Structure 1
Amino acid sequence: MTKKLEKIIYNNYFWVAIFLLPNFLGFLIFILLPVLASFGLSFTKWDLLGEINFVGLANYQNLISDSTFWKVLWNTIYYTLGTVPLGIIISLMLAIILNKKIKGVKIFRAVYFLPVISSTVAVAMVWQWIYNPQFGLLNYILSLFNITGPSWLTSTTWAMPAVIITSIWKGLGFNMLLFLAGLQGIPNTYYEAAEIDGAGSWAKFSKITLPLLSPTMFFVIIMSIINSFQVFDQIYIMTGGGPARSTSVLVHYLYQNAFEYFRMGQASPIAYVLFFLVFIVTLVQLRNSKKWVVY
């Protein structure tokens, strides 16, 4: 290798390192160091102002015996089971419809994607008005059919379903766009060959669309589950975790422990429980993907 070539390679590595440095520093300062610090705090008792006292595994033991923790854990699972399957099914149906050559299809795509880029706070406030039991739009529509609507966000029965509906509506456009991209990547020749063989709509969907869309489906499932476990904004704005903690989830309970009760040591284990839950669910999905994802 000549000295000139060595110099060129060295210069290339140097500039690669220079351009990667800001991203690396951002990861180090804002992600890696806070993760390590929170892990250390999970073994301590600290109220943000006083001394940091080492308590060992006491915080984890307290979490196991904390009935509120188990309630918010179930609420998180309930929210995930409510948003993920319905959100995926509805967004897939919309993507199939909007993949057809219909008049004004680009406008419809933009309209369905609009909630995704809208502020979660603004969306939550609009849906608060929709769910208002006195002058909300939803109860007004129900009254037209002689149905008395419930007090949606103040009912322990209906508060979580109301938040689930809002979340599905908010994220529908993102999943729809991913499915739409996947559908447009499927060659039309497969469908033409299937039509020649006399295949109907369901046969084409089940034998061609779903298998070839499975990588996109896998990605959407993983991202939807991760996002549902991390839900916070709409819970905080719409219900504040109430009534009677019927909508409080893991991230909301973590926030309360850290910044309302000033128990940083007790909040940190909740973050790691959340991490391991997401990690385990993702790992299971990765292992099972070999059985149904077609690459």
Structure 2
Amino acid sequence: MRKRRAPWKTWLLFLLFAGPNVALLIIFTYKPLIQSLQYSLLQWNIGSATARFIGLENYVSWFTDPTTANVVRVTVVFTVATVGGGMALGLALALLLNRKLRGTGLARTVVVAPFVLSGVAVGLLWLFVFDPNFGVLGALLKAAGVSGPDWYNDPHWALPMIIIVYLWKNVGYVALIYLAALQAVPKDLLEAANLDGAGAFASFRNVVLPLLGPTTFFLSVTTLLSSLQSFDIIQAMTRGGPLEGTTTLMYQIYEEGFAVGRAGYSSAIATVLFIVLLAITAVQMLFVQKKVHY
């Protein structure tokens, strides 16, 4: 008969393996989160030796600030465009890369490569592409007889420019995950659908797409969180401008905290963003997840 392990040995084994990870989470995740919440209740500037407790005044100031509506609008537009567009383009690329064609392996590498590059490097690279005077895009438009927009200085075009660059960098990640899911679809289900007279589109809509539900759910969570926390490309290309046309919540947190120096006010915005992320993730976990698993 197998000897039962003592409870204290089980707990010791658990602490041995999980303890370091839990300690790192507490030190680098939960402690800064709690400190940020504390700072949001203070009037404190970076570098100042004193701080004054002001309660919810930072939150009231942010919600009543005339620029807040524009920051929220930019954040929503950027997030919807990058998440929705990224998943649609990623799925289309995955379907294309899933075909048995010559050079598919090289194409997969090329598609995924931008994802591992630094966001700052990508932003600086695309600055030359969008340059209205010397950029590649401007030259192509001039060759076609079209006058290109002033991407840098026009607030109506700066945000689409950032969205395009973000999609170019991150769509490979979505395509890679979708490609793995497509290759895991059982072939017998597709053959059965073919025998029943279903065409390629009907098989994709009724067989493949439902089976991709868990993958779609996973990507919707990860890409949404990544998009709302995007900073590096905006900093490298526009620095939130022009006229705050590309200032998202994440960039406003940086700007208020490190450029202006209002650490308490910046912490309040960070807390708001955290609550939004937590609420969206909770809704996805509670309601969406139940509909994608079979």
Q: TM-score, normalised by structure 2?
A: 0.94
Q: Which residue of 1 aligns with 2:45?
A: 47
Q: Is the 8 A contact 2:132 2:148 kept in 1?
A: yes
Aligned length: 293
Structure 1: stretches of 5+ with no match in the other structure: none
Query: Which range moves more in the overlay, 222-231 or 128-137?
Result: 222-231
Q: Which residue of 2 aligns with 1:212?
A: 211
Superposed structure 1 runs of 4+ greater than 3 Å apart:
4-7, 9-13
Q: 1:16 to 1:291 in 2, by over 3 A?
A: closer
Once residues 126 and 111 of structure 1 are traced to their aligned partners in structure 2, the CA distance between those partners, rounded to angstroms, is 16
Cα deviations across residues 81-138 of structure 1 (Å, max 9, x unaligned)? 2111111111101101111111121111111000011111111111111001110011
Residues 1:26 and 2:39 are matched in the alignment: no
Q: Give the Å deviation of 1:29.
A: 1.1
Equivalence map 1:12-161=2 (5 Å): 13-48=11-46, 49-161=48-160
Calculate percent identity across the aligned residue pairs: 36
Q: Is the 8 A contact 2:217 2:289 kept in 1?
A: no
Q: 1:293 to 1:157 in 2, by over 3 A?
A: same
AA aligned to 1:64 is F
AA aligned to 2:131 is N
AA aligned to 1:32 is Y
Once residues 291 and 161 of structure 1 are traced to their aligned partners in structure 2, the CA distance between those partners, rounded to angstroms, is 34
Q: Which residue of 2 aligns with 1:239?
A: 238
Q: Give the Å deviation of 1:153.
A: 2.0
Equivalence map 1:138-217=2 (5 Å): 138-217=137-216
AA aligned to 2:269 is I
AA aligned to 1:239 is T
Q: Secondary structure at the match of 1:157?
A: helix
Q: Give the Å deviation of 1:18.
A: 2.4
Q: TM-score, normalised by structure 1?
A: 0.94
Q: What's the C-alpha RMSD, in Å, of the aligned pairs? A: 1.8
Q: Is the 8 A contact 2:256 2:263 kept in 1?
A: yes
Q: Give the Å deviation of 1:289.
A: 1.8
